[in-house]
Structure 1
Amino acid sequence: MPAEPDHPIDPPLIDLPIKTASRGFYDGFSREVTIPSKVIVSLLIMWAIFFPVSASETLSAANSSIIATFSGWYVYLVAFLMFTCFVLALFPQSGTLRIGNPGEEPEFGRFSWFAMLFGAGIGIGMLTYSTGEPLAHFSNNPDIIRGLVDARTAEAVRPAYIYTFLHWGFAAWGTYALVGLAIGYVAYRRNLPLTIRSALAPLFGLRLSGVWGHLVDIVAVVATILGVAVTMGIGVEQFVMGLARLGVGDWLLDPDGSSSIAAVILSLLVLVGASTISALSGVGRGIKWLSNLNMGLSFALLALFAIVGSAFGGLKLLGVGVWDYLRTLVPNSLTLFDAGGEFGDALVQWQLDWSVFYWAWWIAFAPFVGMFIARISRGRTIREYVFGVVLVPSLMCFFWMAMVGGTAIDLELSGAAQGSIVNAAMSDQLFATLAVLLDPAVAAVVSGLVVLLLMTYLITSADSAILIVNTINGAGESESERNHHILFWGAALAFVVGSMLILGGIDAIRITMIIGALPFSFVVAIMGVGILKAVIYDLFRKHHGVPTTAQGCAEAAEGK
């Protein structure tokens, strides 16, 4: 609809047609997106299964060159995403804009909204890394590398939590929030399809209906599968370790302590099978119910650590850690270590192994989590959305890691653990903490609770990912899901995780994900520019009385 002559700006684009099939196997889906996505993921699986040596060597070589070349890109991109989110939320005029039509109420209550954020976001990671990351930085971090503090001492705890919170705080959730906001804002205000390409429409308009839009969505689908594969791989390893702790059988572990092939295959059959069934039931039923169960079990586990763990020490760690995190957030978010000098090479390697890996992981995870957050956040203002998606989950992660990880560190510092926790595999450290903290019978019961919680988190993450991939393939139409496509993506996810775990363990999945995240990282950068333009132009439209929503455009047309 053209603007009035005295209006210096046109109304927003409210139609982005994406061609979909009207019949046959791909009825309701974009063949140009779905078929190439399936081909790429299938080729990746066959490459890993039939040429494992070549795959392993190629992945390692590609990982070294990509990380060395693009580490600075990942660091500065994530800093830009965080900055953009907070600017949009804190600026008075933009913060009150609604992700939807004016006055529209949110679809989900706050508890279910927060529960689904955790289930889809980083629930699995928190179970593995709640002990694993603080203990890892307790043993090695930049301050230890520089010789400022000694490893595994009381002095190493404070810097350990600075870097733990750096990785699991605003960087992760700011990345998710930016992608979700960029998609949800144009989808629910302008009736554009709920898909990745729509977030770029403020910049490129109708050109995204064609091949460039298809390419963006294909990149997003592949990044989603690889990002979720990392989470699934970490979860499966910890799931198997938990079953071994419960005495299910020696066959679960190989002699070197890693998960056996049989254990990986059986776990994936159970977990992906259950997640596929849940995906068939949709967001409002299976996923919502499982997410609420996850939240309840998580609080029960946290309550246990608060009662029998180092509650006072954990709360002190939380307070000091949040203060340290906030005062060092800007310099740590912009620091890029240089090779050379006495400590340069070690600092660069540490940053590549931790910070850069995490930034790539969050970016690869962002199309999935961002789409999912957009799907469940309709009706909220930008300010409520950003604070809800960034601040609340970050504080929950901080609390979880301070209570659980703080207990594990306290047991090591006091001598009670005698190295049994810090020297365990990361996937076993939570179970090792429970074994030291509790009587054997109680530890077995609580370990069973952790295994159940892991299972529900894994199922929630996988079924959410399957639904989001189908939504992208269906040109943003979540109702166009077809059972055979859900089954394909469930099987594909299982094969990616299984083939990579068997090929080279979690490292192979991590390398594949970092490579897959690179193309999507450029899409995310453009999204950041796109949402800034969309919001600024809408504020300009409001000032001049031009409609900013599809509903407003329709009402203006009727008024004429």
Structure 2
Amino acid sequence: MADTTSNQGIPEPEGASDVIQTEYEIGQDNIDGSVGPFGFDIHNPVFVISGLAIVAFVFYTLALPEQAGAVFSWLFASVTKGFDWFFLAAANIFVIFCLVLIVTPVGKVRLGGADARPDYSYIGWFAMLFAAGMGIGLMFFGVLEPVYHMAVSEPLGVPSPFTEDGQLIPENVEAAKKMGLAATIFHWGLHPWAIYAVVALALALFSFNKGLPLTIRSAFYPILGDRVWGWWGHVIDTLAVFATLFGLATSLGFGAQQANAGLNHVFGVPIGPTAQVLLITGITSIALISVLRGLDGGVKLLSEINMGIAALLLLFVLFVGPTLLIMTDFVNGLGAYLVDLIPLSNPVGREDTGFVQGWTSFYWAWWISWSPFVGMFIARVSRGRTVREFIICVLIIPSLVCVLWMAVFGGVAIDQVLSDPATSAVKAQVIDSYNPPLSLFAMLEGLPFSGITSVIGIVLVIVFFVTSSDSGSLVIDTITAGGKVDAPVPQRVFWCVFEGAVAIVLLLSAGGLQSLQSMVISTGLPFTIVLLLMCWAIWKGLRAEQA
């Protein structure tokens, strides 16, 4: 049981169990935890509100796909152009806040209380942080993004090494290559992991140290007091559900498109909505089996399979490709990232608006949408760590893994593009025709055993797809059940099914992939405000713990 004695400054109700069983469920039915119709634990209004809203959203998008697509396109353009400065400024605040926690005395606070000890060794803990850093995004963007930023998007005005007719400009190559890797690392480095660290720290602190439910609203007890168990808390948790669900749906959409492209590349399966709907349906069915098997029998097993396959593919590309060049790119890209970190983070006066609005704003919104999902996972495996230890490791370990992945896959792709632009499959798919789902397979085509590695890539995308779906279902289910980690299985099935349904209807809408991105941006915007307030709540909670 977590130590709940150090609560000075926070008027916590008497006893964690009293909070969970009375105030948190005040005015609701089934206070004893019994289930309602269809096996659902519906006494918490968050489930009813978010569930009905998602069902209505699915039917609206199916019934009026053209109208829905137009709305989604308008949302994407309006939010990215009007609030790009807000997303960049907020992400900078999260990084600065984490650095402040490292160097100030509150960093000595231990998650779980002064006597708590870590549940996992450093090696086991690092492995789970590594697993949290891997996902469909790395498969989808690992080749695409370094090449695109090098040759097309021109971050910070660094010119492309290619002319408009595709001729190479040798004097531009070195600077563009470094910027391609630096801009990619920027999107996968400190900023996203600071976002995850804020949510994970909030969940761990208020669950392990204060004995409150493992849900987003608990982090706001220092600010809202008992009102957090009422409609203020319901709104916070509902926003978390929407953000998480659309963030997951976006990942599922990316995964379906990439798996479809890979199957077409290897086996000639047609590319189109029908194939992608069948893929999402089939993989969601597999995820349902994993959900029914539970955390250890499903999510944990698939995560271990994931890590093994990903490590094998990474090592293959590293050693079969130009190994020395890849490691040099790793060092140079990391150095360029550190040099350009502040200019890339600047939220005002930017001239590279295509890069800022089309890439960085979307990424920060996507990471913020994913933060309840990844944050809850990190929180559950981090009990016993000090805040300083927690922040340093969560920021650095997964960031380095992402940097290595991008340097290996992106470095090989860049080398293929620059070595032989005329015949490079990567150049044809990323620069000439912009076909993101096929970029990974285009890179593998330039290496030995491309038929085998392409199949492995497809399998890895599918397994990432399944683990995202089933673990995301568990997290959303925990939030909608008021922080219960053992909510009824039918609820997990419900969320798993509707994650897939949302991905399908957004892909089928007129906007396609942009519809997925639009909903991430739209739900990420209000949830950014939630995370900014969460920083204040964390500071108050840590000061109380320190006292």
TM-score for the superposition, normalised by structure 2: 0.89
Flag the 1:29–1:382 CA change in 2: closer, same or farther, 3 A: farther
8 Å contact 1:317–1:402 — kept in the other structure? yes
Question: Match for 1:154: what amino acid?
Answer: V
8 Å contact 2:112–2:209 — kept in the other structure? yes
- 2:432 alignment partner in structure 1: none
8 Å contact 1:30–1:475 — kept in the other structure? no
Flag the 1:277–1:377 CA change in 2: closer, same or farther, 3 A: farther
- 1:90 alignment partner in structure 2: 103
Of 180, 183, 195 in structure 1, the residue corresponding to residue 200 of structure 2 is 180
User: Equivalents in 1 of 2:41, 2:384: separation in Å?
Assistant: 26
Deviations 1:312-368 (A, max 9, x none): 111111111112212222332134345xxxxx4xx2232100111111111111122
- 1:197 alignment partner in structure 2: 217
User: Equivalents in 2 of 1:8, 1:287: separation in Å?
Assistant: 38
8 Å contact 1:235–1:454 — kept in the other structure? yes
Of 111, 132, 138 in structure 2, the residue corresponding to residue 126 of structure 1 is 138
8 Å contact 1:287–1:463 — kept in the other structure? yes
1:157 counterpart = 2:177: yes
Q: Following TM superposition, by how much is the alpha carbon of 1:380 offset from its aligned partner in structure 2, in angstroms?
A: 2.0
Deviations 1:3-62 (A, max 9, x none): 99xx99567566443216423236645431100001111111111110011101111222
1:514 counterpart = 2:521: yes
Of 62, 74, 83 in structure 2, the residue corresponding to residue 70 of structure 1 is 83
Deviations 1:467-500 (A, max 9, x none): 00110111111012x2221111111011111111
Of 226, 229, 233 in structure 1, the residue corresponding to residue 253 of structure 2 is 233
Question: Match for 2:307: what amino acid?
Answer: M
- 1:358 alignment partner in structure 2: 363
Q: Following TM superposition, by how much is the alpha carbon of 1:435 offset from its aligned partner in structure 2, in angstroms?
A: 0.9
- 1:49 alignment partner in structure 2: 62
Q: Following TM superposition, by how much is the alpha carbon of 1:69 offset from its aligned partner in structure 2, in angstroms?
A: 2.2
- 1:455 alignment partner in structure 2: 462
8 Å contact 1:116–1:292 — kept in the other structure? no
1:528 counterpart = 2:528: no
User: Equivalents in 1 of 2:384, 2:297: separation in Å?
Assistant: 20
Of 93, 102, 122 in structure 1, the residue corresponding to residue 114 of structure 2 is 102
Q: Following TM superposition, by how much is the alpha carbon of 1:521 offset from its aligned partner in structure 2, in angstroms?
A: 1.1
Q: Following TM superposition, by how much is the alpha carbon of 1:223 offset from its aligned partner in structure 2, in angstroms?
A: 0.8
User: Equivalents in 2 of 1:70, 1:160: separation in Å?
Assistant: 24
1:430 counterpart = 2:436: no
Question: Match for 1:488: what amino acid?
Answer: F
Flag the 1:113–1:291 CA change in 2: closer, same or farther, 3 A: farther
8 Å contact 2:102–2:387 — kept in the other structure? yes
Deviations 1:164-212 (A, max 9, x none): 1111101111101111111111111110000000111121111101011
8 Å contact 1:144–1:150 — kept in the other structure? no
Question: Match for 2:420: what amino acid?
Answer: G
User: Equivalents in 2 of 1:65, 1:329: separation in Å?
Assistant: 26
User: Equivalents in 2 of 1:111, 1:282: separation in Å?
Assistant: 24
Flag the 1:398–1:8 CA change in 2: closer, same or farther, 3 A: closer
Secondary structure in structure 1 of the residue aligned to 2:114 = coil
User: Equivalents in 2 of 1:27, 1:160: separation in Å?
Assistant: 48
Question: Match for 1:454: what amino acid?
Answer: V
8 Å contact 1:233–1:501 — kept in the other structure? yes
- 2:450 alignment partner in structure 1: 443
1:327 counterpart = 2:339: yes
Of 372, 377, 383 in structure 1, the residue corresponding to residue 377 of structure 2 is 372
- 1:315 alignment partner in structure 2: 327
User: Equivalents in 2 of 1:170, 1:408: separation in Å?
Assistant: 24
Question: Match for 1:302: what amino acid?
Answer: L
Flag the 1:122–1:8 CA change in 2: closer, same or farther, 3 A: closer
Question: Match for 2:224: what amino acid?
Answer: F
Question: Match for 1:90: what amino acid?
Answer: V
Aligned residues: 516
Report sequence identity in percent: 31
Unaligned 5+ segments in structure 2 are: 430-434
User: Equivalents in 2 of 1:187, 1:41: separation in Å?
Assistant: 28
User: Equivalents in 2 of 1:537, 1:505: separation in Å?
Assistant: 48
Q: Following TM superposition, by how much is the alpha carbon of 1:392 offset from its aligned partner in structure 2, in angstroms?
A: 0.6
Q: Following TM superposition, by how much is the alpha carbon of 1:144 offset from its aligned partner in structure 2, in angstroms?
A: 7.6
- 2:45 alignment partner in structure 1: 32
Flag the 1:51–1:118 CA change in 2: closer, same or farther, 3 A: farther
Deviations 1:380-431 (A, max 9, x none): 2212222222111110111111111101110111117723112211111111
Flag the 1:522–1:30 CA change in 2: closer, same or farther, 3 A: farther
8 Å contact 2:330–2:403 — kept in the other structure? yes
Q: Following TM superposition, by how much is the alpha carbon of 1:118 offset from its aligned partner in structure 2, in angstroms?
A: 4.4
Flag the 1:205–1:269 CA change in 2: closer, same or farther, 3 A: same
For the aligned residues, what is the CA RMSD? 2.3
1:497 counterpart = 2:509: no
Secondary structure in structure 1 of the residue aligned to 2:362 = helix
- 1:282 alignment partner in structure 2: 294
Q: Following TM superposition, by how much is the alpha carbon of 1:103 offset from its aligned partner in structure 2, in angstroms?
A: 3.2
Bigger mean CA deviation after superposition, 173-182 or 285-294: 285-294
